[in-house]
Amino acid sequence: MTYPLFFGEPAAVRSARVGSVFVLGGDEGRHATTVRRLAPGERVDVADGAGFRLRGTVTDGSAGTLAVRVESAEQEQAPRQQLVLIQALAKGDRDEQAIEAATELGVDAVVPWQAERSIVRWRAEKAVKGQRKWEAVVAGAAKQSRRAWVPEVHPMLDSARLPAWSARFDRVFVLSETAGEGLARLAAGPSQGGTTAVIVGPEGGISERELLALQEAGAAAARLGPHVLRSSSAGPAALVLLNHVLGRW
């Protein structure tokens, strides 16, 4: 059984001990007491966002703070197979929909990509605000799905920097409707750990120049199936498949 999860100040969460009372304050404490209206006797989890989870019972919930008697405190191990979603900026909040679902599906990191055909543009201060918005989206999705890990949100990359940057990963797949091989077949094989990245283009698709540059940097073009998916659904669909093929699920 899972319990409502809240994120506490990392250092405070990690210093909590079994048998002690952890006090959750700030926005999370107010949400727990005024929105969720948690009462003494209810079970909750509190995490630091990096895999450390406290589990306990509410002893008091008043004045915007939640007191929790800690019953267990442990570090959850990260998956041996890490998954990264490199998501092109898209209009209509489709990029945010993609990273929200990806977080619920267990992605370990997300990267905003300003592709050649991206209609949405992050320039100057907008890039900073955009990254902060993505961080809020993945934190909310992690909380909703009761994950102790919050995916890392990397700074935005443009098409000039993406190929070299993505070469750091063990395997990189670019989703393309023109690819000759399916993602499931390309990703199949013995589980050896490492990081697999999936690159999803914008509404207008990845340009031939971008695809060639990524392939020259070591990425493999892969297709998901017979249909063209929206930018908001392609990444999550790929992650479902990879979770199964890589043995994460």
CATH number, domain at 55? 2.40.240.20
Strands 21-24 and 65-75: antiparallel
Whole-model pTM: value is 0.92
Low-confidence ranges of the chain (pLDDT < 50): none
Amino acid 99: pLDDT? 98
Q: Using the 3D structure, point to which of 49, 75, 101 is the last residue of a domain.
A: 75
pLDDT at 190: 59
Q: Which residues pair with 182 in a beta bridge?
A: 223
Q: Which residues pair with 52 in a beta bridge?
A: 75
Residue 218: give the domain boundaries.
81-246
Phi, psi dihedrals of residue 247, rounded to the nearest 5°: 75, 20
Reference 86, options 215, 202, 240, 229; nearest CA is: 202
Q: What phi, psi does 161 have (nearest 5°)?
A: -95, -20
Per-residue pLDDT reduced to its tens digit, 96-120? 999 999 999 999 999 999 999 998 8
- Are 25 and 97 in the same domain? no
- Predicted local confidence at residue 192, as pLDDT: 62
- Bridge partner list, 221: 174
Residues 150 and 224 reside in one and the same domain: yes
Quote the CA–CA distance of 148 and 2 in Å, as a whole number.
Answer: 12
Q: In the beta sheet, which residues pair with residue 47? A: 7, 53
The domain boundary, picked from 42, 59, 75, lies at: 75
CATH of the domain at 128: 3.40.1280.10
* Same domain, residue pair 103 and 219: yes
- One domain for residues 149 and 185: yes
**Distance (Å, whole) CA 8 – CA 5:** 10
Q: Read off the tokens for 222.
A: 């892969």
